[in-house]
Amino acid sequence: MDAQRDLLDSIRAGVAIAPLFTPKMPRTGKEMSVRMTNFGPLGWVTDQQNGYRYQSLHPVTGQSWPDIPPRLLDLWSAVSDYPHPPEACLVNYYSDTAKMGMHQDRDEAMFDAPVVSVSLGDECLFRVGGTKRGGKTQSFRLCSGDVMMLSGESRLAYHGVDKIYPNSSDLLKNAGRLNLTLRRVNPSG
């Protein structure tokens, strides 16, 4: 639990530089139920005008994203078996009513690097399927401190968050869940 609290302190310091914002869906402009920010040289963003993309500046402040916390870089090195560091750490904050529909992480230039995800705070019901939309899915709970990786054949698996279990953790001051997703966006070199 101390490691989670130390990591949370790093996340709070980064959020002070790059505040959480509410992303909007392409075409419709509908707000997502999560709030988000990013760390690293690139950040994943979406809005009605320009859709899903990576960019080097926070869309509200216009400032560069803060560095990825060293603990997360160490985790990437320990679990990913990938020779290059992540370029983005997407930080999603889920309130007790937030969800994330089934989707693929496919806005990167290549898919040979894994996607490494860390859960902090309240538990969630996570659902994962195959690489084709509409196939069979499996659901399981992710708890605070859980690390999950999509790699190899599962790299493009559809996945989402169906439910947050409020007050299942006391890690965050105001309840909720943080999901930290490490991604390599571009080929090396």
Q: What is the 3-state secondary structure (H, E, C) of the chain?
A: CHHHHHHHHHHHHHHHHCCCECCECCCCCCECCCEEEEECCCEEECCCCCCCEEECECCCCCCECCCCCHHHHHHHHHHHCCCCCCCEEEEEEECCCCCEEEECCCCCCCCCCCEEEEEEECEEEEEECCCCCCCCCEEEEECCCCEEEECHHHCCCCEEEEEEECCCCCCCCCCCEEEEEEECCCCCC
Percent of the chain with pLDDT over 90: 96
The model scores a pTM over 0.85:
yes
Q: How many CB atoms lie within 10 A of CB 56?
A: 13
The two three-digit tokens of residue 93, written as one number: 């904050």
Residue 174 has pLDDT above 90, yes or no: no
pLDDT (average), residues 26-40: 96
Residue 122 has pLDDT above 90, yes or no: yes
The class (CATH top level) of 2-99+108-121+144-152+170-183 is mainly beta
